[in-house]
């Protein structure tokens, strides 16, 4: 199901997570650098987490459509999110602000969309 929303109530949490009207939404199939650095013992995507967040914030101009596909282990909604018809996860990867992770791509939905 795809739900279209206006920009009111949208907050960018980091380079791969949004909050829309209180709902935490994790972008399907990508991993962005951590804002506060990588915790010890964890493998994280290299890069500037603040720059990744700013990149996502810069895309927030237009109508948002959310295609929910499930939940992650933290209870966040997994979804493909479109702003002005563009898949913002694909844009984050194209801009070098996130990495595509096939095992997080629920049947290749994101890979098919990013072609």
Domain-wise residue ranges, the chain: 2-113
**Segment 28-76, tens digit of pLDDT:** 999 999 998 888 888 899 999 999 999 999 999 889 999 999 999 999 9
pTM, to two decimals:
0.90
Q: In this predicted model, what pLDDT tens digit does every residue of 63-99 receive, in sequence order?
A: 999 999 999 999 999 999 999 999 999 999 999 999 9
Q: Per-residue DSSP letters for the chain?
A: -EEEE-STTEEEEETTEEEETTEEEEETTEE---TT-PPTT-----S-HHHHHHHHHHT--S-EEEEEEEE-TTSPEEEEEEETTEEHHHHHHHTTSSEE-GGGSGGGHHHHHT-
User: Architecture of 2-113 per CATH?
Assistant: Beta Barrel (2.40)
């Amino acid at each position: 199901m795809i739900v279209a929303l206006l920009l009111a109530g949208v907050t960018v949490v980091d380079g791969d997570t949004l909050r829309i009207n209180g709902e935490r939404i994790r972008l399907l199939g990508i991993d962005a650098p951590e804002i506060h650095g990588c915790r010890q013992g964890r493998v994280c995507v290299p890069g500037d987490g603040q720059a990744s967040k700013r990149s996502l914030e810069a895309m927030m101009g237009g109508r948002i459509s959310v295609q929910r596909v499930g939940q992650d282990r933290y209870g966040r909604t997994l979804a493909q999110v479109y702003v002005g018809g563009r898949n913002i996860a694909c844009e984050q990867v194209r801009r070098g602000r996130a990495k595509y992770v096939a095992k997080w791509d629920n049947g290749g939905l994101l890979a098919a969309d990013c072609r």
